[in-house]
Structure 1
Amino acid sequence: HIKIDTGMGRIGCRSESVLDVVKEVETWTSLHWEGTATHLSVADSLDPDDRDYTEKQLERFTEAVDRLRQGGYNPGMLHAANSSAVVLYENSYFDMVRPGLLAYGYPPIPSLSGIVPVKPVMELQTHVVFVKRVYSGESISYGRIWKAPQETTIGTLPIGYADGLPRRLSGKLSLSIKGSRYPLVGRICMDQCMIDLGRDSPVKRWEPVTVFGGTEADPTAADLAELVGTIPYEITCGINKRVPRVYVE
């Protein structure tokens, strides 16, 4: 597919040079041109200036498509809509749409939560692999940034930043076990992290732990993203390929 740079500034050719690009493509017998696309840079913004910019991008894309047709070319399948455009710009649909974050069940704009009829479909689970008693004043993990304020029980989980659990979540996140939340304590390690199970915890080794997803009572990828100042997409896409995937209908 040929990409038209209508204002994203990432890849693609300008509208006015699209015919030159097509002529170059025609010289390559290994290339088969099947579609034409663009990408919208601020479709997720409700700011009036940004909305005008998005409409301008769509105009530029349409101009490029018209230029192709006037030059005697069939532009093939046309597509421009990312998740935000699917929700906010019906005139961006063309022949197909490209939802990303929306496919994970998250609205592209937080203000649309509860309005867009989607729900998270991805769940990240781990389990408790080690349980131990610690005493008041004992420290947990690198840097000794957390010390037990009183005698308690610590559970170790086999998930860390190498798996996609951002180190920036250290000390900020509570994970879910059977509907109850337990705070993550100490720094997240490469392959492990620790949670405070409390003084008289019933949690045992091998019990499943929900990092995000699951039930409505569990944290979501959006919750994790908010804690570290990013977008849910970075959380969902950041899960390392070494984490096993289980697909369910």
Structure 2
Amino acid sequence: MSETPAPRSAPLRARAEIDLAALRANVRALRALAPGAALMAVVKSDAYGHGAVPCARAAVEAGATWLGTATPEEALELRREGLRDVRVMCWLWTPGGPWREAVEADLDVSVSGMWALDEVVAAAREAGVPARVQLKADTGLGRNGCQPGDDWAELVAHALRAEEAGLLRVTGLWSHFACADEPGHPSIAAQLTLFREMVAYAEEAGVRPEVRHIANSPATLTLPETHFDLVRTGVAVYGISPSPELGSPADFGLRPVMTLSASVALVKRVPGGHGVSYGHHYVTPGETTLGLVPVGYADGVPRHASGTGPVLVAGKWRTVAGRIAMDQFVVDLGGDEPETGSEAILFGPGDRGEPTAEDWAQAAGTIAYEIVTRIGSRIPRVYVNEGQPG
């Protein structure tokens, strides 16, 4: 991921401005919503496109005591970048993964089945260091996680034997909700009940976890009974609501962290009946002006938002005209003639009337998580308020 300290006036083709003061304030707001639990800031997928290392540091400054990643490679990068005085957990493993490196880096690794337990035990034996292991229960999401019943009993028993042998420490018991972003969904109560049962079984067998956790961002925001010892906050850290049905970011005291903008590359007057972009899916209804925005689907702007994506140019809300191409798209300026180089804001907090990531999600038929996460490496991340309190 490219990073630059360039000031706001820098003549960049495009930029994703990352407000670290907003991120720190979001972490503090989330901690206040779950005062009895520790907070994990999830920084997987390069911190949802915001930049893992700067965002991780800012989150820790604001009181996050855990960091979460999907892959071990993401977690190991945090350690290499000096994030050592914070717990780091990674949960997406495949056979032959870097178990020994993870053990030696003092990562918390998630185990969902016997193959993974066997591999981490072997790695701990080779390293001569006990592994930090969190057992994941599948309480109804149907993805990763150990099934209840005999499978869970076997996994718990073998983990305890390895713990007695000094090869690992069971540091956590955890699971993940399927529908916490859908208020009142019956699976929420069912999963919570099953999680309590599976935790009780493990603890009765002798497991003494440091943390028990199931709450993701939506559960952290709206389901205090799910907070247990730790909440795992992902998209909410970046000031995005996990679901419009739950409320807007402002409803939870959150502020979007990323502002995506570009410099208008060309403004020109065209006659009516002028086709725009591939396939001429947009034809000008009359004489008008067109503005060229030099970002496209290679930068992560969703092609599905062709004809619908909103952009703020010269103080007015415009809409993508025609297809979004690999490197650029066009907006119909309706006769306005902003200067070449004027700012086109695709999304941000909304303070200046600009669209938000949720607006783009609606335009593309997806979720705001995807909008920010897909912004590619050609777009430099410019960090502001790095050394200021949030």
TM value normalised by structure 2? 0.58
280, 297, 300: which one pairs with 1:144? 280
Q: What secondary structure does 2:232 align onto?
A: coil
Question: Is 1:241 matched with 2:377?
Answer: yes
Cα gap change, 1:90/1:178 in structure 2, threshold over 3 Å: closer, same or farther?
A: same
**Aligned equivalent of 1:135:** 271
Q: CA deviation at 1:133?
A: 2.9
Deviations 1:140-188 (A, max 9, x none): 1100111222222222112111222111211113311242223321100
Cα gap change, 1:207/1:30 in structure 2, threshold over 3 Å: closer, same or farther?
A: farther
Identity across matched positions, percent: 39
**Aligned equivalent of 2:331:** 195
**Aligned equivalent of 1:35:** 172
Question: Is 1:209 matched with 2:209?
Answer: no
Single out whichever of 68-77 and 14-23 deviates more from structure 2.
14-23
1:96 maps to amino acid: L
2:340 maps to amino acid: R
**Aligned equivalent of 1:20:** 154
Tell me, yes or no, if the aligned pair for 1:58 and 1:92 is still in contact at 8 Å.
Answer: yes
Tell me, yes or no, if the aligned pair for 1:141 and 1:186 is still in contact at 8 Å.
Answer: yes
Q: Which structure exhibits the higher relative contact order, with contacts defined as CA atoms closer than 8 Å and separated by 6 or more residues?
A: 2
Q: CA deviation at 1:195?
A: 1.2
> For 1:29 and 1:237, how far apart are their aligned partners in 2?
40
Q: Looking at secondary structure, tell me which structure has more strand per residue.
A: 2
Question: Is 1:103 matched with 2:240?
Answer: no
Deviations 1:181-240 (A, max 9, x none): 233211000111111223241x12222210011443111111111223322112122222
Q: CA deviation at 1:38?
A: 0.3
132, 135, 139: which one pairs with 1:6? 139
Q: Which structure 1 segments of 5+ residues have no match?
A: none
TM value normalised by structure 1? 0.88
Cα gap change, 1:181/1:53 in structure 2, threshold over 3 Å: closer, same or farther?
A: closer
Single out whichever of 22-31 and 100-109 deviates more from structure 2.
22-31
> For 2:147 and 2:350, how far apart are their aligned partners in 1?
46
Cα gap change, 1:128/1:22 in structure 2, threshold over 3 Å: closer, same or farther?
A: same
Q: Map of 1:33-182 to 2, 5 A cutoff?
A: 33-47=170-184, 50=185, 52-111=186-245, 112-113=247-248, 115-182=251-318
1:20 maps to amino acid: E
**Aligned equivalent of 2:363:** 227
> For 2:319 and 2:358, how far apart are their aligned partners in 1?
18
Cα gap change, 1:86/1:242 in structure 2, threshold over 3 Å: closer, same or farther?
A: same
Superposed CA RMSD: 2.3
Paired residues, what number?
245
Tell me, yes or no, if the aligned pair for 2:297 and 2:324 is still in contact at 8 Å.
Answer: yes
Tell me, yes or no, if the aligned pair for 1:213 and 1:220 is still in contact at 8 Å.
Answer: yes
